[in-house]
């Protein structure tokens, strides 16, 4: 009895299978991409909770006094209490001069010298896994200048229209006041604090420092009470900051864009009412 001929796929069948696989991939890839980004967002929020806990604990350990919100450089600005420092020469006594080409160890050294590092003992929590900063910044997060910063009008030489908060107990509405946020500074690392418009402050109609939109259409914030949130932005705000490569202070025109700006103003840390 002769051997039966082995069955095989025809060319048409192979083409059909290939087309089906291509369609399935087209359907599944966006879902997989969103799932990966969701995981990175969860990690970013965990980082912010770690950092805000460290920020709070530092204040408790230092008689209610807040750490500095700038990044100490030793060049006449910043202060030794700052939460993180500029990329620093390892075993040296100065910041590096070329931030863009700072080594990973120099970036780590700047973080290690900051006042919050002893409370975290981790470099990873300073970096968002979705970080796509123009300056290739390792440290993804910044603090608002009103938290023991340098620009407020009640500081010598200050010019920004907000009060400088020196103590944890001074902060109004801790559940609404963000103390950490993601920044996309293009200058090689997130230099100093994050600010709203210095002249208009919470009444300004324009943006000042750049926001981050790495989590799809969202940015993550850590708050004074220790929780973290990820805020979704309007199409106009995304256009302003998604491809941010150089300094700009755009003025939103749409209702949604204006509300985005106002939302950051509502969360800006301000002092408790003196009437309370």
Which segments in the chain show pLDDT lower than 70? Answer: 1-9, 13, 24, 26, 28-35, 37, 274-276
Report if residue 98 sits inside a domain: yes
pLDDT at 275: 41
pLDDT at 73: 86
For 238-258, how does the pLDDT look when each residue is reduced to its tens digit (9 = 90+)?
Answer: 999 987 777 788 999 999 999
CA distances for 180 relative to 20, 76, 95, 267, 275, angstroms: 46, 24, 23, 11, 28
DSSP code of residue 170: G
CA atoms within 13 A on the CB side of 37: 17
Look up the domain containing 22 and give its range.
12-267
pLDDT at 15: 74
pLDDT at 71: 94
**How are strands ordered across the β-sheet holding 178-182?**
141-142, 178-182, 218-223, 228-232
Report if residue 272 sits inside a domain: no
Report if residue 273 sits inside a domain: no
CB of 148 within 8 A of CB of 175?
no
Report if residue 208 sits inside a domain: yes
pLDDT at 276: 39
Report if residue 116 sits inside a domain: yes
pLDDT at 245: 76
Report if residue 215 sits inside a domain: yes
For 9-63, how does the pLDDT look when each residue is reduced to its tens digit (9 = 90+)?
Answer: 687 767 777 777 777 676 766 655 656 767 899 999 999 999 999 999 999 999 9
Main-chain dihedrals φ then ψ at residue 35, nearest 5 degrees: -65, -40
Q: Show the beta-strand stretches assigned E in 22-135.
A: 68-72, 82-85
Report if residue 164 sits inside a domain: yes
Q: For the chain, how many structural domains are there in total?
A: 1
The pTM for the full model equals: 0.86
Residues of the chain above pLDDT 90, percent: 74
């Amino acid at each position: 009895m002769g051997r039966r001929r082995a069955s095989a796929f025809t060319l048409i069948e192979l083409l059909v299978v290939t087309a089906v696989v291509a369609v399935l991939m087209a359907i599944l890839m966006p879902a997989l991409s969103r799932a990966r980004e969701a995981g990175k967002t969860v990690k970013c929020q965990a980082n912010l909770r770690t950092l805000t806990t460290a920020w709070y604990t530092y204040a408790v350990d230092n008689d209610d006094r807040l750490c500095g919100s700038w990044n100490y450089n030793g060049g006449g600005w910043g202060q030794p209490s700052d939460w993180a420092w500029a990329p620093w020469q390892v075993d040296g006594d100065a910041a590096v001069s070329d931030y863009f080409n700072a080594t990973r160890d120099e970036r780590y050294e700047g973080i290690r010298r900051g006042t919050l590092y002893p409370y975290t003992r981790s470099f990873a929590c300073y970096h968002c896994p979705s970080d796509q900063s123009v300056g290739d910044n390792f440290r993804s997060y910044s603090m608002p200048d009103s938290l023991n910063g340098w620009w407020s009008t009640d500081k010598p030489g200050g010019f920004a229209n907000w009060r400088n908060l020196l103590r944890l107990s001074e902060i109004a509405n801790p559940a609404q006041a963000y103390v950490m946020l993601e920044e996309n500074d293009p200058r090689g690392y997130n230099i100093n604090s994050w600010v709203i418009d210095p002249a208009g402050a919470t009444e300004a109609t324009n943006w000042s420092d750049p926001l981050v939109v790495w989590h799809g259409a969202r940015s993550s914030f850590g708050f004074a009470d220790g929780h973290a949130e990820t805020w979704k932005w309007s199409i106009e705000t995304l256009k302003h900051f998604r491809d941010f490569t150089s300094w700009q202070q755009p003025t939103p025109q749409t209702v949604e864009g204006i509300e985005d700006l106002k939302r950051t103003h509502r969360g800006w840390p301000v002092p408790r009412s003196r009437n309370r």
